[in-house]
Amino acid sequence: MAKDETRSEKISAEENALETKATDEVIEGVVEAEDTATDDLMPLLEDARAKADEHWDQLLRVKADMENTRRRAKQDVENAHKFALEKFALELLPIKDSLEMGLTAADGVTESGDAMAQMKEGTALTLKMLTAALEKFGIEAVDPTGDTFDPDKHQAMSMQESAEHKPNTVMAVMQKGYQLNERLLRPAMVVVSKAVSETSDSESGNHINEQA
């Protein structure tokens, strides 16, 4: 009787061991299956993520291009409005130059008389009206006397030695420059200073010594 019980317990223990082993194998199989499925899905997930990042970058680039295009179009429209009178302004400037030269010439006339005074007054009034009209449309004169010569803004007509000015300084303006809404319309014609040469210094010294 005792032997039968011992044998029964032994069989029961073996059955439990087999059942535990089977359970462990099932669990291990499930885990391996999950790992295999995860390994299969990872490349797909990475590919999808890469495509999503690429599409997002494309969207940002398209958005930036559209913004730049909109900004350029707005700037083009503003420039078209601001500088539409450029050719018209260039046609008016010689008239203003002529009026200014006429006034300068009238100042040098020694003759007196009501006719000359009236002509000068009328010319001055006309010039004043023209200047006001030009300024109304953003056209302003530029007088660079005393400024450093800038080839982008000035047109050098001649260079003269000067001990009173630093080299490359605008000594005199032969014709004013003009700008339209702060953009150069016509460069000023100027006389530019340069350093006094040693030859000029020595000749000047010799001249003084001879006089002495």
Q: What is the pLDDT of residues 61-101, one digit of tens each?
A: 888 888 888 888 788 777 776 777 788 888 888 888 888 88
Burial of 181 (0-12, 13-18, 19+ CB in 10 A): middle
**96 and 131 Cβ atoms separated by less than 8 Å:** yes
pLDDT of residue 110: 53
- ∠ at Cα 177 (174, 178), nearest 5°? 155
Cβ neighbors of 131 (< 8 A, separation 6 or more) are 96, 141
181-206 average pLDDT score:
79
Q: What is the pLDDT of residues 102-146, one digit of tens each?
A: 787 777 665 556 667 777 887 888 888 888 888 888 889 988 999
Q: And the tokens for 178?
A: 């003009």
Neighbours of 185 (CB within 10 A): 19
